[in-house]
Amino acid sequence: MYPPTARTTPTRSRDRMSYDREAAHAVLDEAYHCALGFTVDGEPRVLPTLHVRIGDTLYLHGSTGSRPLLAARGDGLEVCVTVTLLDGLVYARSQFHHSANYRSVVALGTAHLVTDEREKSAMLTALVEKVGAGRSADSRPPNRRELAETAVLALPLREVSVRSRTGGVREDEADLHLPHWAGVLPLRLTAGLPQPAAGVTAPLPAYLRSAHTPWHDPAPLRGEHVLLEPLAPSHAEDLYAATTDPEVWQHLGGRQPVDATEMGNVIEAYLSACHRGERVPWVQRCAVTGAVVGTTSYYEIDPERRSVGIGHTWLGRPWWRTGINTEAKLLLLGRAFDDLGAVRVVWHTDIRNARSQAAIERLGATREGVLRMHRQRPDGSWRDTVQYSMTVDEWPNAQARLRERLLRTAPVA
């Protein structure tokens, strides 16, 4: 616990105040930025800045020429640092009782300029790691000039308070009969889809993927015929070139891209679904040549029921009836049943797509039925969807048959 002081003792709503050290650290660690308040030449200033906590010290990032950093030289700078996480908006029947759910920290004290290069480097490394675990090893560290241009303030966490509000609506009993909606609208900070800079060819790093569970992680999978790697915007041109045959798109749910730019839009939609936890997309490469030949995905991902779908698969015409599609399915089935502990894998295909149905049945899947008017085709017509499944007790025999089939198929050169 942090000891209360005269400056951190509330005058109202004392039930919302806490001095719990772990609660304060949790708020500081979750937030990416803070508000730094100070006084210069008798005038108040409040500046937004980045921060990171190391132990019981809060470090604040800045430039060597900024006002607070200049003022902190010598004896230090008296500061007030605040962090607020907004968790929800509270709607009451009366306007007076509208409120918000939040968690906030106020830290007071004297901040000093960090002059030790090792301490400054440790802070900058911790700050980079905060935005992505592993990022410090996945980026160039600052050189001496950059270190000299960066200033860091260190604030010992000694005078700290936590204030929060949780729960639902609190209003007068006399208002409960009013016909207005009341309740809480939860809020949370969520990351959007990462947008690579021009010229970036590196795959999206793991710390930027929205892997809600291991089921949502597009782990690379390798076989003798095919390599599966996480789908990325950099695959657009090669994926477009591999799938220009209109027959590839005949029974798929989307319109055939007319160029690499439109293929990029398709990939962006897949990655957005991935970021929402709705899909895990891979690109398929020929294991012999390294050429991009198609894509495939997990979808309908349900870790609670231990079920997943395999689909959204398109493969370039030159690689049909090779071992690539068979081995890709073998790898995906093995990950689902053996690594993730699935008990059920499903497939869906257009009732008109006899070739796809035959391929799924060759995998050892069981046809369960037809979902009538299940989804709309690109031409506006409604398709009936054939549903197949394989269960975990069927997997060993299916795996043996697929491996035997692959032994008779030479890798594509």
For residues 347 and 333, the answer to whether their CB atoms sit within 8 Å is no
Identify the band that residue 273 occupies on the pLDDT scale cut at 50, 70 and 90: confident
CA angle 43, 47, 53 (to 5 degrees): 125
Percent of the chain with pLDDT over 90: 65
Q: Read off the pTM.
A: 0.63
Reading the block at residue 361, the tokens are 């049945």
Whether the CB-CB separation of 112 and 57 falls below 8 Å is answered with no
Task: Identify residue 252 by its one-letter amino acid code.
Answer: L
State the CB neighbour count (10 A cutoff) for residue 227. Answer: 23
Residue listed under structure tokens 């709309």 = 376
Q: Quote the CA–CA distance of 68 and 76 in Å, as a whole number.
A: 10
Ordered DSSP codes for 122-153: HHHHHHHHHHSTTGGGGSPPP-HHHHHHEEEE
Contacts 24+ apart (CB under 8 A), 397-402: 397/364, 398/333, 398/363, 398/364, 398/365, 399/330, 399/333, 399/334, 401/364, 402/326, 402/329, 402/330, 402/333, 402/363, 402/364
Give the range among 15-29, 76-90, 100-114, 335-349 with minimum mean pLDDT.
Answer: 15-29
Mean pLDDT of the chain: 90
Distance CA 133, CA 32 (A): 14
Token couple for 24:
């304060």
Rounded Cα–Cα distance for residues 173 and 166 (Å): 20
The mean pLDDT value for 56-61 works out to 94
Q: 80-96: per-residue pLDDT in tens?
A: 999 999 999 999 999 99
Q: What are phi and psi of 85, to 5 degrees?
A: -110, 115
- Say whether pLDDT at 413 is over 70: no
Cβ count near 223 (within 10 Å) = 18
Task: Read off the pLDDT of residues 310-360 as tens digits, 9 standing for 90 and up.
Answer: 999 999 999 998 899 999 999 999 999 999 999 999 999 999 999 899 999
- Predicted pLDDT of residue 410: 67
Which residue's structure tokens are 């025999």?
A: 397
What are the pLDDT digits (tens) for 166-219? 889 999 999 999 999 999 999 888 777 788 888 888 887 878 876 578 999 899
pLDDT digits (tens, 9 = 90+) for 220-256: 999 999 999 999 888 999 999 999 999 999 888 788 9
Phi and psi for 18 in degrees, rounded to 5?
A: -145, 155
Q: Which of 224, 331, 334, 235 is nearest to 283 (CA)?
A: 235
Place of tokens 């999206």: 204
Encoded tokens for 405:
């089939």
Q: What does the block give as tokens for 286?
A: 């020929």
The pLDDT of residue 215: 94
pLDDT classification of 140: cutoffs 50, 70, 90: very high
Averaged pLDDT for residues 153-165: 94
Q: Which two tokens stand for residue 35?
A: 């508000």
pLDDT attached to residue 158: 94
Whole-number percent of the chain with pLDDT over 70: 97
pLDDT for 284 = 97
| Distance separating alpha carbons of residues 297 and 117, to the nearest angstrom | 47
d(CA 316, CA 318): 6
Contact between residue 330 and residue 406 where contact means Cβ atoms under 8 Å apart: yes
What are the chain's domains?
14-186 (2.30.110.10), 210-407 (3.40.630.30)
What's the 3-state SS for 42-53? CEEEEEEEEEEE
Most distant CA pair in the chain, distance: 84
pLDDT at 412: 65
b vs e for 270-307, b when ≥16 Cβ sit within 10 Å of the residue's Cβ? bbebbbeeebbbbbbbbbeeebbbbbbbbbebeeeebb
Q: Give per-residue pLDDT as tens, 356-395.
A: 999 999 999 999 999 999 988 888 899 999 999 999 999 9
Over residues 101-120, the mean pLDDT reads 92
> Which pLDDT does position 65 carry in this prediction?
67
Written as six digits, the tokens of 102 are 């939040």
C-alpha 104, offset from chain centre: 25
State how far the Cα of 25 lies from the Cα of 381, in Å rounded to an integer.
Answer: 56
